[in-house]
Amino acid sequence: MNETPPSLLGLTTYLMSKTGKAARGRLADRLAERGLRLWHMAVLAALTDFGPHVQRELAERLSIDRSDVVKIVDGLGAAGLVDRARDTADRRRVTVTVTPAGRELLERLKAEALAVQEDILAPLTARERAQLTALLLRVHDGALAGGQARAGR
C-alpha cells in the first residue's frame, strides 16, 4: 500500500524532483541545526570559490533578489562568517568577503553534504555515482543555458 504510482515513477521529471527534494531536505535539516539555510551555504561557496563579491554580484550569480541577499549576508555577518566592507571608491557598494571562520565552516558543511550524499546515493556504486553526477551536470548546464525560465514560483 505504500508503493508509488508507476505513472509517476516512469517520469524522470518526477524522480529528479523527488530525490532532489529529499536531498535538499536532509541537507537543509543539517544546516538548520547550525541556524543556517541553503542560501547561506551557497553564498559562502560563491565567496570562497570566486573571491569577494559586491552584493549585487551575489544576487546576479545566485539568481536571488538583491533584497534577499541583504538578509542572507546579514545572517552570515552576525555569525562572523563574512565581512562587510563599504567600497572606498564607490561608497554605495558593499563588498562581502569570507572570514577564515566562514571558510572553515564551509568545509564542514561540504563534508556534511557529502555525508548526506553518501547516504542517499548508497544504492549506487562509485562508477554509477560518477555517471549520475556527469549526467546531472549536463542537464544542469543545459537547463540554465537554454530554457532558463525562473525555476521558482
Partner DNA sequence: CCCAATGATGGGTGTGCACCTACTAAAGGA
Partner DNA sequence: TCCTTTAGTAGGTGCACACCCATCATTGGG
Give contact residues for DNA (rule: CB under 7 A): 28, 32, 37-39, 54-56, 59, 64-71, 73-74, 84, 89-95, 150-153
- Rounded alpha-carbon distances, angstroms, from residue 18 to 5, 10, 25, 96: 13, 12, 10, 34
126 binding partner (options a second copy, DNA, none; Cβ < 5 to 8 Å by kind)? none
Cell 570566486: give the residue. 50
- Does 3 help bind a second copy (rule: CB under 8 A)? yes
Q: Is the Cβ–Cβ distance between 95 and 87 less than 8 Å?
A: yes
9 binding partner (options a second copy, DNA, none; Cβ < 5 to 8 Å by kind)? a second copy
Handedness of CA 58, 60, 63, 66 (dihedral sign): positive
- Does 143 help bind a second copy (rule: CB under 8 A)? yes
The x, y and z cell numbers of residue 97, run together, are 568577503
73 binding partner (options DNA, a second copy, none; Cβ < 5 to 8 Å by kind)? DNA
- Does 97 help bind a second copy (rule: CB under 8 A)? no
